[in-house]
Amino acid sequence: MTGASGVGKGTIRHAAIPDLGEIHYSISATTRLRREGEVDGVDYHFLDRSAFRALLERDALLEHAEYVGDYYGTPAAPVDAALSAGHDVLLEIELEGARQVREKRPEAVMLFIAPPSVAELERRLRGRGTDGEAKIQRRLERARKELRAVREFDYLIVNDSLDAAVTAFKAVVRAERLRASRLGDEAEAALLRAT
């Protein structure tokens, strides 16, 4: 899941995941400061720059990116463990990271969450009250660039209504779970025995 800062990725995720059963949310690592109410190890793994660089040096990140002065990345080990256990894994990442995942894991399903307009995105960013003017402007400029990349993704959800966006997100996950190409050898054998 990718989309501009403030577009509602986390809100959609929180609303959708309880209805999706076995899905593992991958907690990203970041060097950005913790916002009020955020919990280390739940919302993000909050790291200083040297700890983040150590993960990079050990090649322990599935993807990583710099976003408006802070670093973000997905620790690979928990993702691989969840996939090996047969769980779907949800990454909530930036455009650069999504491109890295697409390259490393071409079977990944890429979903872009977009605002109904840049003006609405600006209203949401200002409404959060977490960033100064300079950072808001950097986020908006970055959002304009990200929106130009929407055709790189498999699915697009415009978050103009939270209920509709959550419904669309759940529909994508459920449809992807029904792809015949995802049928494992054991499931195929069970189908053949049933006929």
Q: Is the pTM of this model over 0.95?
A: no
Distance CA 76, CA 56 (A): 11
Q: Could you read off the pLDDT of 145-188 as tens digits, one per residue?
A: 999 999 999 999 999 999 999 999 999 999 999 988 877 666 66
Instruction: Kindly state whether residue 145 falls inside one of the protein's structural domains.
Output: yes
Instruction: Kindly state whether residue 189 falls inside one of the protein's structural domains.
Output: no
Instruction: Kindly state whether residue 83 falls inside one of the protein's structural domains.
Output: yes
Residue 153, exposed/middle/buried by CB under 10 A (0-12, 13-18, 19+)?
A: buried
Instruction: Kindly state whether residue 116 falls inside one of the protein's structural domains.
Output: yes
Q: Could you read off the pLDDT of 112-150 as tens digits, one per residue?
A: 999 999 998 888 888 887 788 888 888 889 889 999 999
CATH of residue 10's domain is: 3.40.50.300
Number of domains in the chain: 1
- Token pair, residue 120, equals 């609405």
Q: Could you read off the pLDDT of 13-55 as tens digits, one per residue?
A: 999 999 998 899 999 999 999 988 999 999 899 999 999 999 9
Distance CA 138, CA 69 (A): 9
User: CA nearest 58: which of 43, 76, 40?
Assistant: 76
pLDDT confidence tier of residue 58, bands split at 50, 70 and 90: very high
Instruction: Kindly state whether residue 188 falls inside one of the protein's structural domains.
Output: no
Domain boundaries, position 128 = 2-179
Q: What is the pLDDT of residue 35?
A: 87
